[in-house]
Amino acid sequence: MTGTFDDPTLRRRAAKLSALLAAADARAAAAPFPAERIARASRRVVLVRRLRIAAAAALLLAGFGVPPVRAWIIDSARTIWTRVMGPTAPAVAPAPAPAPLPAATMGTVTVGASADFTLRVATRQAGGDLVIVVTDGASVSAAVSGRADAAELTVFPDGIRIGNTRTTLTGYELRVPLAVSRLVVQVGRESPRVYRPASAGERWVVSLRAR
């Protein structure tokens, strides 16, 4: 066998390969059956045709020993396989594991500190405490932990308001710097409580449980 396309055997096998390529694109003939039976029959015909085309391509490839011709056959066989089996789906990298969620905090606000600061709590609630912590920072912050709809934090010109309800079950933390010399905490319509921060690290716990 020679390495050119003038070889009669090569021409015959090339013609067979072209026929295989055309067959790979052919559709199954329609059959006078209900749609479901037609679909099943079409799938069987396509499967048999794919197996026959793949096997024939392998035999054609095995019959050529000349390197340039073998390279051409390999390239053609790849085309047949792609048409028969469809393109190979790219590998999908596994999704990274989600980062662990932080502790549930439904709201946090931070405001500038003033000498007089007021924290208003709408009402006493079913359970929970207000923790006041004195810091050496430069701002006041309030945080709510618990259910996402437990309470709302609203900033006012002179302080912060906690919008809770009688059925709320959650806790709050208020961090105040030493720049706040007078902290007023008022729960509902009760008499206000006054706290005077003196050193960083001071801590007060105010129960908000309904009496």
Query: Residue 179 domain-assigned?
Result: yes
pLDDT of residue 211: 83
Last residue of a domain, one of 50, 85, 120: 85
Q: For residue 151, give its domain range.
A: 107-207
Same domain, 68 and 111: no
Q: Are strands 171-177 and 182-187 parallel, antiparallel or unpaired?
A: unpaired
Residues 51 and 114 reside in one and the same domain: no
CA angle 88, 89, 91 (to 5 degrees): 120
Q: Which two tokens stand for residue 56?
A: 């024939």
Residue 97 covered by a domain = no
User: Nearest CA to 130 among 99, 153, 104?
Assistant: 153
Kindly state whether residue 3 falls inside one of the protein's structural domains.
no
Whether 197 and 132 map to the same domain: the answer is yes
Structural domain ending residue among the three candidates 85, 115, 150: 85
Q: Of the residues 24, 51, 85, which one is the last residue of a structural domain?
A: 85
Is the domain of 135 the same as that of 185? Answer: yes
Residue at 100 is within a domain: no
Residue-level pLDDT, tens digit, the chain, 211 residues: 444 445 676 667 667 666 665 665 555 454 455 666 666 766 665 555 665 665 555 555 555 554 555 555 556 556 655 655 555 555 566 656 554 444 444 589 999 999 999 999 999 999 999 999 999 999 999 999 877 568 999 999 999 999 999 999 999 999 999 999 999 999 999 999 999 999 999 999 999 999 8
Asked if the structure places residue 160 within a domain, the reply is: yes
CA-closest candidate to residue 65, choices 146, 7, 126, 131: 7
Question: Is there a domain that residue 92 lies in?
Answer: no
**Same structural domain for residues 72 and 112?**
no
Contact 196, 190 (CB under 8 A): no
Statement to judge: residues 32 and 116 lie in one domain: no
| 2 located within any domain | no
Closest by CA position to 188, among listed 103, 139, 124, 130: 124
pLDDT of residue 107: 81
Residue 82 in 3-state DSSP?
helix
| 164 occurs within a structural domain | yes
For 12-23, the pLDDT digits (tens) are 766 766 666 566
Residue 117 belongs to what H/E stretch? strand 116-121
Task: State which amino acid sits at residue 144.
Answer: V
Do 81 and 111 belong to one domain? Answer: no
